Amino acid sequence: MKKTIAIGIAVLVIALILNASPARGSANPFVQGIVIEVQKQKVYFPDYAIGGSNPSDAPLTSRYYAYRVSVRVDCKTYIGRYETPFNYLPSEFTPNQPIQMHLTKHVMYFDLPNDPDMRMGIVRRSSDCGQTR
């Protein structure tokens, strides 16, 4: 019985040591990017969204805003689309501003002070690596 308890404690201690190793604990999923460009885009609604032929069928608010944000990470440029019902884009999205972000295949996640869950869908990506002009 004592031998089983000792083995269990040893396994637990080894597991804790492996999980607390500096190589694994310091992995930061965020990378440093630079905001290149921000463009406000016009958003057009189909007829069914604005009431069609009967204005009384229109929703209470029909305004919608979209922004196209270009961010460079190393030598790759990611273009994201930020859609919002408010005419507001966080001030961190200013050209030539460094920004912390996490990239996935289709989405960019940003580490913003007021909105740690900020995300944008990736519309396009391009690589400028190795191109000389």
Q: pLDDT (tens digit, 9 = 90+) per residue, 72-130?
A: 998 899 999 998 888 888 989 999 999 999 999 999 999 888 888 889 999 999 988 76
pLDDT of residue 21: 41
% of the chain exceeding 90 in pLDDT: 37
Amino acid, res. 70? S
Of the chain, the percentage scoring pLDDT greater than 70 comes to: 68
pLDDT at 23 over 50: no
What tokens appear for 19 in the block?
């999980």
Q: How far is CA 123 from CA 7, 59, 82, 101, in A?
A: 53, 28, 10, 16
